[in-house]
């Protein structure tokens, strides 16, 4: 098989350059039992609303890459059947190509160490709408935030590209309200939720005038949990807490992230909600 044979697929997923060549080679290989198992798992979730990624189930990263590649056209067709535009579907699925490029930045090679994240997209209910991604799920009731059991909420995710300016974020939330009301009208949503290191109160206190702080102030933070490596990974695309001295301290955000660790602090995930 050649890259040309997969041109439409690679355009859908925004796979380019060396990543396209590597993906074409994987697709040309014989189908492993692991790929079949992964495809079955993906198929069982399409059209459902899972809040969590799939587990590895002992399958390899290449198994998941091939399965995700092969399953993506079914997700695209599912979107179109819902009346969702091809452009919005492509915007959701193009995260695959972005994650391949991020993998090269992090590891210096082809791969998809965030394959589990992509299994959420393949359930058909995660969309990129302007600056943000929105994930339609049922939220379980928690002690920290008394939301109605089984209520529909939008999980909010923050892609790395683009500005978090108030204007861009407002436009994204406005688009999300219209989109989900139009395409998922039977699943009334009144609340959005976000679990992110950007909602760590420490960051808001240290950079109160930043766009990140402006974004965080939209949410009521219900509780925090330790996530020692998240701020480092999403700021620098660096896995773990080793060799931090080699990381740049050129921006105020980079300095805040590293100096907190230098002082013995631990970064956290803020778990917050807002009314739509």
> Can you tell me which residue has the tokens 């739509």?
276
In a domain, 264, yes or no: no
Query: How many domains are contained in the chain?
Result: 1
In a domain, 26, yes or no: yes
In a domain, 263, yes or no: no
| Residue 69 CA from chain centroid, whole number | 17
In a domain, 6, yes or no: yes
pLDDT tens for the chain, residues 1 to 276: 456 789 999 999 999 999 999 999 999 999 999 999 999 999 999 999 999 999 999 999 999 999 999 999 999 999 999 999 999 999 999 999 999 999 999 999 999 999 999 999 999 999 999 999 999 999 765 445 545 667 999 999 999 988 999 999 999 999 999 999 999 999 999 999 999 999 999 999 999 999 999 999 999 999 999 999 999 999 999 999 999 999 999 999 999 999 999 999 999 999 999 999
In a domain, 10, yes or no: yes
Q: Reduced to 3 DSSP states, what percent helix, strand and coil does the chain have, rounded to the nearest 5?
A: 50, 15, 35
Host domain of residue 11 = 1-124
In a domain, 210, yes or no: no
DSSP, residue by residue, 71-116: HHHHHHHHHHHTT--HHHHHHHHTHHHHHHHHHHHHHSSS--TTHH
CB 71, CB 43: distance < 8 Å: yes
115 by Cβ neighbours in 10 Å (0-12 / 13-18 / 19+) ranks as buried
Which pairing describes strands 268-275 and 132-139: parallel, antiparallel, or unpaired? unpaired
């Amino acid at each position: 098989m050649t890259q040309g044979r997969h041109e439409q697929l690679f355009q859908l997923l925004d796979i380019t350059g060396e990543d396209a060549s590597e993906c074409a080679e994987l697709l040309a290989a014989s189908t492993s039992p692991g790929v079949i198992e992964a495809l079955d798992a993906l198929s069982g979730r399409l059209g459902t609303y899972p809040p969590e990624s799939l587990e590895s189930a002992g399958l390899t990263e290449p198994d998941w890459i091939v399965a995700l590649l092969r399953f993506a056209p079914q997700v695209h067709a599912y979107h179109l059947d819902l009346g969702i535009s091809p452009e919005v579907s492509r915007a959701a699925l193009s995260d695959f190509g972005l994650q391949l490029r991020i993998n090269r930045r992090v590891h210096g090679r082809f791969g998809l160490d965030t394959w589990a994240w992509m299994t959420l997209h393949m359930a058909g209910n995660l969309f990129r709408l302007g600056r943000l991604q929105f994930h339609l799920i049922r939220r379980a009731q928690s002690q920290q935030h008394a939301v109605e059991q089984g209520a529909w909420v939008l999980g909010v995710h923050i892609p790395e590209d683009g500005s978090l300016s108030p204007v861009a974020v407002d436009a994204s939330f406005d688009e999300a309200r219209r989109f989900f009301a139009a395409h998922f009208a039977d699943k009334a949503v009144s609340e959005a939720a976000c679990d992110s290191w950007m909602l760590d109160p420490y960051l808001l206190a240290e950079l109160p005038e930043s766009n990140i702080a402006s974004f965080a102030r939209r949410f009521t933070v219900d509780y925090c949990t330790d996530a020692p490596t998240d701020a480092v990974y999403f700021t620098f695309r660096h896995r773990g807490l080793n060799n931090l001295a080699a990381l740049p301290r050129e921006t105020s955000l980079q300095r805040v992230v590293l100096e907190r660790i230098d002082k013995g602090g631990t970064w956290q995930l803020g778990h917050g909600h807002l009314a739509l």
